[in-house]
Every structure is written in structure tokens, then in C-alpha cells.
Amino acid sequence: MKRYHIAIVGATGMVGRTFRKVLEERQIDADYTLLASARSAGSVIHFMGKDHIVQVLNETCFEGKGIDIALFSAGGGTSLTYAPIAAAAGVVVVDNSSAWRMDPAVPLVVPEVNADAIPQYKNKGIIANPNCSTIQAVVALKPLHDAFGLKRVIYSTYQAVSGAGQAGFTDLEEGLKGVAPKKFPYPIAGNVLPHIDVFLPNGYTKEEQKMIDETRKIMGLPELAVTATTVRVPVFHGHSESINIELERPFEMEQVFDALRSFEGLVVEDDPDNNLYPLPIRAEDTDPVYVGRIRRDFSVENGINLWCVADNIRKGAATNAVQIAEALIKLWNS
């Protein structure tokens, strides 16, 4: 069987570190090349039992290396420039940035939801990894759509500072000691900010628009009625979301629980008598998407409310990208 070669672009960053951790945990035996900016080129990282010298990402770094897959997490600008260069060298790029997500020729993939889109990588040599808050939401929505049909979705999010990279994390750490913020426009310690990413002319933030557009694309429902309010909260790890869902067809709550319980990648934590519901501190450093507080919305026909939590750096970024790489390898081996 062919031995594959995987590159990690942005190997020294927060998501890059988690790529390495997830690949080690899953023991994905391959040759590896670690790439980052000139700032960290030459530094040594111990990974998969070997010392790797970090190499600089440039126009020629993919040429003639036999790299099969590159996991990119080095910012949108870097992806925009270097993903096509990698693809031209025969590499399949799994891109964690927002640069390619809405390109109609680029599949946007959450393997539990739309693995059937993976072969579309052949169009441009790129597969996009969705936005963290969208990934966990669509894992919860898919079994409900399959069983009862989605009619309308309302997202309200409670997102961790790690979603804003190391700088966001530091703002909360230092903010708890009274230091003024550098990344966020206001203190995040003891506060909540209804503002993630930049504001758009339509009044939404870019994070909200990403949730709307990416949900429609991944679910294959371009007309789905969906809206979002995204909020940054003083939590280090794990995004939480209140999701209000209107379904097309009537249901019994037991059928809703069954659909959620039997879906791959979802864990139902719902036992009000024992105060059991999903929490970011429990989701931290794990891969599933957790759902709980599952209850009928009595204000509409066929409505439910649920609470959805996942580790935004793992399932929301690194784990999802590694799952895509695993699916590619399986496809090539078949």
C-alpha cells in the first residue's frame, strides 16, 4: 500500500499544534513536512516519534516532494496565495481558512454530514474546512433534517476566545489580571461581546454571515431560512450554541432523541434530573459534538430548542480537517 506524505502549513500555530496532536492520537502513519513562516523556519518539533525541522512556506516548497495532502492553517491570505501553488504541484489542500469556502468549485466538508462532496477536490485540488461554529451546528442539524426536514434555524452562539487564535486567548488570560485588551475592542474578562470578525454592510458580522452561508452550502439547502447572532464569551476552550429549529414534519420528542443519539459524531447529554447538559469544560480536548437541553419549542409548529457544545479547535478545526485527510486516504486506497 502506498505510503502517503502529509504537510502541515502553519504547524507552529494553535490549530497547527492540534493538527499534530490529533494525527499522533490517531497514529496516522505517513511522511510529514512541517511548514510555517520564516520566523520559525529551522526550529525543531518532535512529532510522530521523530524530530522535524520546520521549513519555510514559499513558492517552491511543494515542488517534487511527493506531498499528497497539505493541511493549511496559516491565515486566509496565506491560503489564498499558497493553496493554488500547492494544488498545481499535485497536492490536495485541506484548508482551514475562510478563503476558499464559498467558491462553488470547492467542496466544504464535514465528513459526518457531506462526505459525498469530497471527490469534488478534483475541481481545484482544494477542500475547505468550515467555520468552527458551523461545523458543530451542522452535525446536530443533519440527523434532524434527514428525519423531519429543516424549515428554519436560529443560531445564538457563545464562543470561546481560542477561536480568535493565540491573541484572543492572551486577551482573556491577561484581562483576568486587569490588563487592557489587544485583540478584542473591549475587555473580554467579565464581559460578553456581540461581535465576532468584522461588521458587514448588512449589519451582520462576518462570523454570522459565515454560519448562514456555510450551513446552506454544507447541508445542500441553498434556500434554507437561517439566521445567527454570534457572541464571544470569557471561555478559553469550546463553543456553545443555542439552536432553535423549525422542522417541516411533525415528530415525537422520543424520535428526535433517537435521531440525535444514533448519529455518528454526536453525543447526547440530556438528563435534567441530574443536571446533565453539555458544557465547554467537559468538551475541551475531545472530538464529539455534544447536544442537550433538547426540548419542544411550544411557540411554533414542529419546533425544538437544543444546546450544542464542541471543542472549537478540535472538531471545529483540526479534527475535522484530519477526518477529511483520512477520508481522502481511504478513497485513494479503495
Do the Cβ atoms of 214 and 101 come closer than 8 Å?
Answer: yes
Half-sphere exposure of 73 (CA within 13 A, CB side): 29
Of the residues 26, 28, 30, 37, which one makes contact with ligand A2P according to CB under 6 A: 37
Of the residues 24, 25, 29, 39, which one makes contact with ligand A2P according to CB under 6 A: 39
36 counts as binding ligand A2P under rule CB under 6 A: yes
Of the residues 5, 21, 75, 189, which one makes contact with ligand A2P according to CB under 6 A: 75
3-state secondary structure 163-183: HHHHHHHHHHHHHCCCCCCCC
Rounded distance, CA 147 to CA 181, Å? 45
165 counts as binding ligand A2P under rule CB under 6 A: yes
Catalytic residue among 61, 145, 237, 239: 239
**CA-closest candidate to residue 159, choices 202, 113, 109, 211:** 211
Do the Cβ atoms of 126 and 117 come closer than 8 Å?
Answer: no
182 counts as binding ligand A2P under rule CB under 6 A: no
Of the residues 14, 144, 266, 318, which one makes contact with ligand A2P according to CB under 6 A: 14
Of the residues 45, 57, 309, 321, which one makes contact with ligand A2P according to CB under 6 A: 57
Which of these segments, 31-39, 108-116, 200-208, 219-227, binds ligand A2P (CB under 6 A)? 31-39
Closer to ligand A2P by CB, 16 or 316: give it. Answer: 16
138 counts as binding ligand A2P under rule CB under 6 A: no
Closer to ligand A2P by CB, 151 or 183: give it. Answer: 183
Q: Which residues contact 305 (CB under 8 A, 6 or more apart)?
A: 242, 243, 244, 245, 293, 294, 295, 296, 297
Paired residues of 45 in beta bridges: 52
- Binding residues for ligand A2P, rule CB under 6 A, total 16
Handedness of CA 303, 235, 36, 330 (dihedral sign): negative
98 counts as binding ligand A2P under rule CB under 6 A: no
Tell me which long-range contacts 53-59 makes (C-beta under 8 A, separation of at least 24): 54/11, 54/12, 57/9, 57/82, 59/85
Place of cell 411557540: 299
Of the residues 166, 173, 200, 253, which one makes contact with ligand A2P according to CB under 6 A: 166
Of the residues 7, 74, 266, 291, which one makes contact with ligand A2P according to CB under 6 A: 74
For residue 154, the minimal CB distance to ligand A2P (Å) is 30
Catalytic residue among 132, 145, 237, 308: 132
52 is catalytic: no
Rounded distance, CA 199 to CA 207, Å? 9
Residues taking part in catalysis = 132, 239
Binding residues for ligand A2P, per CB under 6 A? 10-14, 16, 36-37, 39-40, 57, 74-75, 78, 165-166
